Structure 1
Amino acid sequence: MPDESIQAVLKAHPAVRADWLATYSEEVIAPELEVVDPHHHLWNHPGDRYLYDQAVEDFSSGHKVTATVHVQCRSMYREHGPEVLKPVGETEFVRRIAARTAQTDQPIQICAGIVGTVDLLLGQAVQPALEAHVEAGEGQFRGIRPTVVWHENREILPVSAPAGVLQSNQAHAAATCIRKMGMTLDLWAFFTQLGEVAQFCEAHPDLTVIINHTGGPLGIGPYRGRRDEVFSEWRDRIQDLSELPNTVMKLGGLAMRYAGFVFNERTSPPSSDELVAAWKPYMRLCIDLFGPKRCMFESNFPVDKAMCSYRALWNAYKKMTSDLTPVERQDLFSATAARVYRIAV
């Protein structure tokens, strides 16, 4: 995706407003529950910075976050050299951030795992890029998240991204390379693409595939006002995915604009109780289908920060799982993420 396309996607998201978030606060519940946040971004885009200091402020806001995973966001690419290796610049950048943690008394392992990107349409030619990511990650590179998200409606996705990437022979060849190197594959796709995702996962049973953002339910564009209908279709496709043992579900991302919950349009931020009311049907269904050992909660910060605070977000996750056993909650909040991304906590 060209840089101008990335900027178009970023501009479509609501802005993070610190003053708005500061108008509401709530106490942290279950502060002793360990959290590994397996999905956040660090970036330095024009007019939008979320780097070490901003991330630590959120991670240290009351929940017991012990480690985090950075997921690719097309920031700090190499400016020169072969096009296929330019994304390695992001891994180099994030590794420097992670190294900074080791030089302080910070109790959180910031970016203990790094997920980068390659173009799946390169097929077997992704191999040099994968090797370069591993070298740049200095022991912390864990996997790949390629660009596969697509929708024909420009209100939903304001760029013309390639359709059907996962159906190409090149993508299957690239996935074989990723698997052979012991990496995981993160996939962000809308619920309309989940049939394609399931076919891809089934074709690579030895590859761990992590489904991002609760499987991408939509509530904007042509799906606005059709939440029950979308939920029904999303549920059927999630059921199919859950039957594939190599799939793992990341629970989060519903504060992105795509889901259409528009908490950002309110005069004050949502409470954790309001987040539970909106999101529990999606997340508990995923937990029931995949099981806690194949589910992990994510923050997706700073994207989701446009609609809620880090404190309220994780409080909501804790409230919607309060009836589960301590072991099940440990899986959801830390153990699954630590196992899948090979993080020692």
Structure 2
Amino acid sequence: MPAEQQHCSEKSAVTNSSTHLPVRAEWLATHSEMALDPALPVIDSHHHLYDRPGSRYLFDDLLCDIRDGHNVRATVIVQARSMLRADVPAHLQPLGETEFANGVAAMSASGIYGDARVCAGIVGFADLTLGDAIRPVLERHISLAGGPIDTGGRFRGVRQSLTWDADASLTNPLYPTTQSMMDEPLFRRGFAHLAPLGLSFEAWVFFHQLSRVAGLARAFPQTQIVLNHCGGVLGIAAYANRQAEVFTHWKLGLQELADCPNVMVKLSGLGMRLGGFAFSDRERAPSSDELADAWRPWIDTCIDTFGPDRCMYGSNFPVDKGSYGYGIGLNALKRLTAEYSRDDRANIFWRSAQTFYRLPESSMVMSSSNR
């Protein structure tokens, strides 16, 4: 393993969350690979940064991971209850995360830390169940991230986790939800403020909720929505040993969502414990070939259903880091798309994310030959 990657592994975070796998540096070090197609530009559309007891993943940790031979040009940070403001009402606490992310983005934009533009887009948390009262909060997020997009601001959208299951152990108690939240009047009144402010929505749901997301997308056709983590595949607890049944239900939900032109999907999150792939149970960290074999039906279906121009790569690091190294996951997706055209691969690895999040061309630092 290259010295820089070993350094990254040594600084990896550890988490005790019931839904997150621990990051084990020694285990990750049992397998390494050279980057495939290293010139292909990449935008990582989904990662987190945080510093918690027993769980640290900050700017320098992300830089270590993306400097593994792949051509990561920009990233989008997605909320994770990080750096919440203290001593303010709960609905204002997430403003601290936007301030923090914008500070990291400013550091990255200096060029001191390399060409990649980390946190070029920021997705924050806002409680849309506040209804119309969420409007001034959204405006403050926009202001704290540099103002409107056309003047260089970085705030792009909102994620409010909607994951719900009858088994509460599958959900994060810090994000209380109900089965019907997407349909409730107050949530929809809050949701209605996104599009007028130029903001998108990140739909983090489980596979059996996809039809409800389709209903939300149809009700708000002007609001751009991106489905997180391949649509919330579940393979543990009551869903263990039911992959065929889950796949059938999931695929039908994807097809319904794909009929909504305002919805895209992130090819991410298959390293989470929730999916039941159990990569972390292996004696050695998996290779990209092994990941590709396990992921193929899910990734192929996402791309076939939405089309490459509505799919985008996301690492979901450091959460997925409990299952494989950063470059290994990228290699797996590159293997799965090896037979795609140059244009289709550009969509999946960078163009779809750049278009959806309206990232500036400068964030890619690309020569005309890569476009």
Residue number in structure 1 paired with 2:6: none
Deviation at 1:80, TM superposition (A): 1.8
Residue number in structure 1 paired with 2:161: 147
Query: What whole-Å deviation, never above 9, does each CA across 1:13-40 have from its counterpart, x for those lacking one?
Result: 1111111101111111100110000000
Residue number in structure 2 paired with 1:3: none
Is 1:133 aligned with 2:102? no
Residue number in structure 2 paired with 1:5: none
Structure 2 regions of 5+ residues with no counterpart?
Answer: 1-14, 147-152, 365-371
**What is the Cα-based RMSD across aligned positions, in Å?**
1.3
Q: Secondary structure at the match of 1:10?
A: coil
**Does the aligned pair in 1 maintain the 2:77–2:122 contact within 8 Å?**
yes
**Does the aligned pair in 2 maintain the 1:220–1:260 contact within 8 Å?**
yes
CA distance in 2, matches of 1:44, 1:158: 18
Is 1:78 aligned with 2:85? yes
Is 1:261 aligned with 2:261? no
**Does the aligned pair in 2 maintain the 1:38–1:69 contact within 8 Å?**
yes
Aligned residues: 338
Structure 1 regions of 5+ residues with no counterpart?
Answer: 1-7
Q: Secondary structure at the match of 1:155?
A: helix
CA distance in 2, matches of 1:206, 1:157: 29
TM-score, length-normalised on structure 2?
0.89
TM-score, length-normalised on structure 1?
0.95
Deviation at 1:81, TM superposition (A): 2.1
Q: 1:92 aligns with which of 93, 96, 99?
A: 99
Q: 1:36 aligns with which of 38, 43, 47?
A: 43
Deviation at 1:312, TM superposition (A): 0.7
Amino acid at match of 1:306: G
Residue number in structure 1 paired with 2:253: 237
Judge which range, 151-160 or 181-190, deviates more: 151-160
Deviation at 1:82, TM superposition (A): 2.8
Identify if the C-alpha distance between structure 1 residues 111 and 245 changes in structure 2 by more than 3 Å, giving closer, same or farther: same
Amino acid at match of 1:215: G
Query: What whole-Å deviation, never above 9, does each CA across 1:228-251 have from its counterpart, x for those lacking one?
Result: 111011011111001110000001
Residue number in structure 1 paired with 2:150: none
CA distance in 2, matches of 1:319, 1:12: 28
Identify if the C-alpha distance between structure 1 residues 173 and 158 changes in structure 2 by more than 3 Å, giving closer, same or farther: closer
Deviation at 1:288, TM superposition (A): 1.0
**Does the aligned pair in 2 maintain the 1:35–1:66 contact within 8 Å?**
yes
Amino acid at match of 2:103: R
CA distance in 1, matches of 2:109, 2:357: 19
CA distance in 1, matches of 2:145, 2:351: 22
Query: What whole-Å deviation, never above 9, does each CA across 1:86-139 have from its counterpart, x for those lacking one?
Result: 101000011111111133141110100000011111011111110110011111
Q: Secondary structure at the match of 2:36?
A: coil
Deviation at 1:147, TM superposition (A): 2.1
**Does the aligned pair in 1 maintain the 2:20–2:272 contact within 8 Å?**
yes
Q: 2:128 aligns with which of 116, 120, 125?
A: 120
Is 1:282 aligned with 2:298? yes
What pairs up with 1:1-345 in 2 under 5 angstroms?
10-103=17-110, 104-138=112-146, 139-157=153-171, 159=173, 161-163=176-178, 164-344=180-360, 345=364
Judge which range, 160-169 or 56-65, deviates more: 160-169
CA distance in 1, matches of 2:337, 2:26: 30
Deviation at 1:11, TM superposition (A): 4.3
Residue number in structure 1 paired with 2:4: none
Moved over 6 A (4+): none
**Does the aligned pair in 2 maintain the 1:32–1:64 contact within 8 Å?**
yes
Query: What whole-Å deviation, never above 9, does each CA across 1:173-229 have from its counterpart, x for those lacking one?
Result: 111101110111001000011111111111000100000000011100111001111
CA distance in 1, matches of 2:227, 2:330: 19
